[in-house]
């Protein structure tokens, strides 16, 4: 009887596969790539939120501007207010450069300015609109 011989194979280096270093480098590159993608998503979400706040400020400013002459009488004054969603606003109405010898005219040109402000994190932001509109002449004695 012949004794059974155990055959042991030694790795020659020709074997296919990845070394531990190659796997660690690949994982490091993957984690850097994922971090960049997550950063892009985060930036996109914050920009979307900022755009929504600007759109809200524009809508509020346009709404206030449209109310002048309707629910807000057109006269020389300044109004301030705040909205529940964090916007602060200021509406200013004043005569616009009176024309010489214009006292006989029944109308006057007014400059109407609306400024809406809000906080974006810790940074103050604002949006402003301005227009000219005809309104009734206010006598100088008032």
Segment 85-123, tens digit of pLDDT:
899 999 999 988 766 666 667 788 899 999 999 998 889
Residue 141 forms part of a structural domain: no
Question: Could you identify the residue written with the tokens 């103050």?
Answer: 124
Cα distance between residue 116 and residue 56, in whole Å: 10
Residue 26 forms part of a structural domain: yes
Residue 5 forms part of a structural domain: no
Q: How many CB atoms lie within 10 A of CB 68?
A: 20
48-80 confidence digits (pLDDT tens) = 888 999 999 999 999 999 999 899 999 899 999
- Number of independent structural domains in the chain: 1
Q: Flag the least confident range among 18-27, 81-90, 131-140.
A: 131-140
Cα distance between residue 85 and residue 52, in whole Å: 12
| Residue numbers of the domain that contains 130 | 21-136
In 5-139, which residue ranges form alpha helices assigned H by DSSP? 20-67
Residue 55 to residues 27, 50, 61, 124: CA-CA distances in angstroms?
42, 9, 10, 16
């Amino acid at each position: 009887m012949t004794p059974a011989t155990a055959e042991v194979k030694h790795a020659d280096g020709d074997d296919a596969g990845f070394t531990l270093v190659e796997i660690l480098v690949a994982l490091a590159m993957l984690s850097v790539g994922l971090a960049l993608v997550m950063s892009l998503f985060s930036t996109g979400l914050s920009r979307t939120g900022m755009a929504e706040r600007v759109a809200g400020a524009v809508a509020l400013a346009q709404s206030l501007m449209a109310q002048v002459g309707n629910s807000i009488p057109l006269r020389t004054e300044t109004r301030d207010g705040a909205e529940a969603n964090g916007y602060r606003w200021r509406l200013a109405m004043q005569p616009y450069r009176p024309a010489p010898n214009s006292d006989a005219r029944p109308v006057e040109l007014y400059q109407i300015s609306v400024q809406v402000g809000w906080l974006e994190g810790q940074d103050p932001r604002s949006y402003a609109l301005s227009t000219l509109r005809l309104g009734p002449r206010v006598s100088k004695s008032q």
